[in-house]
Structure 1
Amino acid sequence: MNERIVAAQRAIEQILAGLHIETVICVDDVYGIEDVDSSVELVIGWFTEALSLGKTKDCSALLEESSFFDVPDDEIWKRRLRDRWQELGAEERITILDNLAVILGTEVEIKRDQESASLLKDLIPKEKLRELSPADWERGKETITEEAVEGKCLLCLFDHNLQGAYGYTDNGGILFLEKMIGSRGNHPVICGLLTHTIKEGDEIARSSQFADEHGLRREDLLVLSKDRLRGPMRFAHGLKMMSLNHARDFLTSRVREIAKEADGQANDELMKVDVYNFDYMVLRSSENEGVWEAETLFRLFEILRRAAFQKEAFTLENRAALDDRIAQIRAIREVEILPDEQEYPPNQRWEIRRLELYEHGDFINQAHLPLELGISLRLGERSTSWLLSPAILWFERTVAGKPKVWCSPG
């Protein structure tokens, strides 16, 4: 077996273990395409739609019979097609369906989806993977959900476009996902989309978009492009990033809840500061430091909020929940991935680092008193400086009882 496939398999097993996933359910229209009874209803529906668009000649060419649809009653050609469909081989049926999809402008490509399904089977451990058609999923979803218990999570991956299955739509996968999230209760079920309709590298942005459109939380779903299956390590890398995103979102959601509670506690403490302490801590200190009083009040609130946050975070319930998510993140992060191409570079760290180290210039100008020419600054017991121009500072320092004066470079 290819060395990169083996490495990808190993990485994927570690990722699934990090999330405690025991079963991976993949729901895709391609798994039902070999069911002759189901696919014949699909092809009849597609031929009916194509004929209504005036594509009779194209449809006849697909069946290699120019007069196939020249009948007085549609039921006649439908009955003939059912008989013909039973006689055709699997490859012939798929070719007809793919060509019909092109005629209709439908984003269905069964041969491509079969290739993706085969690649997925090579990467997901055989004992964990279960392949279901949309109809199979609807028949067994309640039983499947019951299998998910603490320590044995279930990962459900839905194809987004399910038009290749009779009776389903181009957004059938996200509708399945939405219903699953609404009905899973306390069962540990992780849901996601595995689809060709999303390009590699767009997964994070599209997961946020889907969450907004369907009233879901971002941590409720993973999104992964099938394009990644063409490179085993690219798929493993994508699954790792999507898994980190899932675990990260749960962690940040919990932190956000704790921060909200801390905000309320800090607000209560701030309102308990009496007027005498307010005068001393806010008004006088602001005047002495040359700082806007509102900025000093913000600093006081931050001190109180940080103390409240630490107190709230270290309760037994919150500490256990945070530690559990952090353990998941560490386990996933430690999985070694060798992507086929360079990882997307981080683009937010420098802005956050700047916010950590520096105040914004406009804020400094508006919230702090400026230095004026001639102002005297006392630096400790023996040093004094004077601002003589925007570029020159005079310093006086007492050394051995004698004053010495020098200036900064101007």
Structure 2
Amino acid sequence: MAKKNEPAHQMAALNDMSPESSAAISNEAVAEPVESPQASVGERLSVLFNELHIVKAVVVDDRLKMVLDAALVARIVGDNEDARATVTTLFPNIDLSNENEFLADQVGAILNTFSGNQRDELAAALAHFSQEAADVNVQVDLTALMPAGFPIEYLTPAEWEAKREALLAVCTTTARTLFFFDQELDDGAEGTAIISSLAQQDAVAFGTRWFCGLLSHILDKGEEVVVWRALSDEKKIPLKLFMPISKQNLHDGAAFYGAVYRTVINIYTEKLKDLALDAFGRAMSDALTEFRNLDPIDFEHIIAKSSEDEGVGELETLIRVYSIVQRDRIKKELLDQERLSNFLQEARTVKKVADVGRTYSDEAAKRRAKLRYKELYEAPELINQFRDPLRNGDLFEIGSGTHLKLWMLIAQPCDLMVRSDGKRAFENNFKVAVLAPVKRGVLGSPPATKPGYGFELARLDHDGMQAASVVFTQATPIALEVLDLAVLRADGKCEIETNGAAPTAEFSSMGWDNRAVRLRKSFTETATKIEERRKTTDNDRAKEYAGFLMPAASPDVAFRKYGEYANGKFSYAIKRAGRVREPFATSVLAAFSRYLSRDAYEHDFSAVREIDA
């Protein structure tokens, strides 16, 4: 429903307003920006209907005969001060509060002098405060939003039953009907029951001869998809056969268009999903069979032996092998001639309709951004809980509070690999890996990056709604011995406790089993030296000595503040917070390599700078 704080002066001249102008004010107050400002909702719907051969609409609602009587008006204004302020000019010299014991009689006397248009305008004003009043104007509001002159038939449930077969008989593949059934009907009846009955009669007709929307006055705008899935489960109606539409959309032209668009496109997108899911299911079954039939010798070599030799986790290789088998199986299933033909037919219908201009809500943009984010970035829980080894593209949060910053690990993948003995090829070489800061901006102002001096990380910032940038110019070498500590913990923190027994943990490879032992031994030896010094000096000197011996995260002096030692525990204000997926991460590495190898030209001493001109 529209907001209740509409300015009172908007309704001050209701007596002189037409229904069209009243609807325009209502729509303008909450309308979102549209892609084609010059096109009205009706004009855009006309294009959509032409594409889908929709030539008629039928609305079935038990409240079509409802009238705005004195009792209803008195009940609305008597309890709501904002409602009273909105219509006070229409009822001069009347106390519109519940304290007036003659309120209904006085309102009724004035209502009797109203024309039909004035009653409609009053209902539109009160619709902002009462769903009952909104239902009075359903016919007026819906007609105003639909294309000019478009055939619409309004029926009560009884009239629908009497005319049902005749209405269905005229529906053809070239002359389709868009049905709107009210969900909350009298005597416990429901619109879903009508749709279920139509499905039993002719399920194939959905999307070919007619489309079905489900109107509801108890459904909030924006909650349609959630309710759609719930109703499908509860009423046992396939998702592709219907789509709920909140009556609140009747006061928002852009939202109404979006609701109708979702309703008519739903049948095609759900068919596409059904075809894909069927192919995925068959492919998964075949892939599992092929995977199960791998020769034991081949399986042992691929998963265990090759992983150990290359320093790759066995689980990572396992997932890789299965993805190879599954990928080809899915493609084979989708290329089945009949399935491919059906898929392309539905896809082309969707594409044709998708070319029709329409708006996108903020929520829709966020949903798509979230899916794209998942494609580009891996969540920390999928990395840390698995104790996944360090990878090029790992993201780290460094610092705390307002000084918390995001950094990206950039390194040649082979140099990061831990071999079976728990060592790397270049163990103590600071040139192996660097951390580069990730610059973020306020929403609407993404950070600028000088070409060649950074890399844009699309969809990383603001829940996928904006890009961030890796800044190569501020990259610093990093000690992998410190970052490795993140692999030892399920929370990704770079911490290690050297006192007591080593915690039990399962790593992704034997190489990392040995790596964990080496790390613990190295930090334990450092802790022992610090504690031995503490026995022969005071705490201040021991603390100073600890700062000297504690492995530095980076030769950058600024990183010294991120390390702390206390009672056998080494803590760094560094935590692994995600990962840039491949091949995106490799693109960053390649860009960083180009940055390091950029040409260094001599300056142009013949040029005149603007500051010198």
TM-score (norm 2): 0.45
Residue by residue, what CA displacement relative to the aligned partner does 1:315-371 show, whole Å, maximum 9, x if unpaired? Answer: 2322222223322333333322468xx643533445434433344445445365684
Partner of residue 366 from structure 2, selected from 328, 331, 347: 347
Contact 1:251 1:326 in 2 (8 A): yes
- How many residue pairs get matched? 322
SS at match of 1:157: strand
How far apart are the structure 1 equivalents of 2:151 and 2:297?
67
Give the stretch that moved more between structures: 136-145 or 298-307. 136-145
Equivalent AA in structure 2 for residue 115 of structure 1: N
Which of 219, 224, 230 is the equivalent residue of 1:203? Answer: 224
Distance 2:193 2:202 in 1: 14
Residue in 1 aligned with 2:444? none
- The answer to whether the aligner puts 1:357 opposite 2:376 as a matched pair is yes
Letter in 2 for 1:124: M
The Cα of 1:263 is off from its aligned counterpart by 0.9
Aligned-partner SS, 2:222: coil
Q: State the secondary structure of the residue aligned to 2:204.
A: coil
Cα separation, 1, equivalents of 2:246 and 2:480: 61
SS of alignment partner, residue 216 of structure 1:
coil
**Cα distance change of structure 1 residues 193 and 374 upon mapping to structure 2, 3 Å threshold:** closer
Cα distance between partner residues in 2 of 1:201 and 1:349: 16
The corresponding residue for 1:194 is 215
| 1:230 is aligned to 2:251 | yes
Distance in 2 between residues matched to 1:233 and 1:272, nearest whole Å: 55
Q: How has the CA–CA distance of structure 1 residues 357 and 329 changed in structure 2, closer, same or farther, with 3 Å as cutoff?
A: same
CA distance in 2, matches of 1:392, 1:235: 52
Q: Percent identity?
A: 22
Q: Please identify, of 353-362 and 180-189, the stretch whose mean Cα deviation from structure 2 is larger.
A: 353-362
Residue 180 of structure 1 is matched in structure 2 by 198
2:304 corresponds to 1:320: no
Partner in structure 1 of residue 40 of structure 2: 7
Q: Where in structure 2 are there 5+ consecutive unaligned residues?
A: 1-19, 25-36, 68-101, 106-114, 124-129, 391-417, 434-477, 485-552, 556-613
Q: Which amino acid aligns with 1:173?
A: G
Partner SS state of residue 221, structure 2:
coil
Query: Post-superposition shift, 1:114?
Result: 3.9
Compare relative contact order (CA 8 Å, sep 6+) and give the higher one, 1 or 2: 1
Which residue of structure 2 aligns with residue 390 of structure 1?
481
SS at 2:317's partner residue?
A: helix
Partner amino acid for 1:22? V
CA contact (8 A) 1:204 1:242 kept: no
For 1:93-172, what aligned pairs fall within 5 Å after superposition?
A: 109=132, 112-125=134-147, 126-163=149-186, 168-169=187-188, 171-172=189-190
Pair 357,344 (structure 1): closer, same or farther in 2 beyond 3 Å: closer
**Aligned AA (1:355):** K
Aligned equivalents of 2:383 and 2:363: distance in 1? 35
RMSD over aligned CA atoms reads 4.1
Q: Identify the structure with the greater helix proportion.
A: 1
CA shift for structure 1 position 193: 0.9
CA contact (8 A) 1:233 1:338 kept: yes
Q: 1:184 to 1:63 in 2, by over 3 A?
A: farther
**Partner residue in 2 for 1:293:** 314
Residue 160 (structure 1) shift? 1.7
Change (3 A) 1:369 1:128: same
How many Å separate the matches in 1 of 2:38 and 2:135?
19
User: How much does 1:282 deviate?
Assistant: 2.1
TM-score (normalised: structure 1): 0.65
Shift of 1:154: 3.2
Deviation, 1:255, is: 1.3
Matched, 1:212 2:233: yes
Q: Deviations over 1:30-67 (max 9, x none)?
A: 44569xxxxxxxxxxxxxxxxxxxxxxxxxx9999xxx
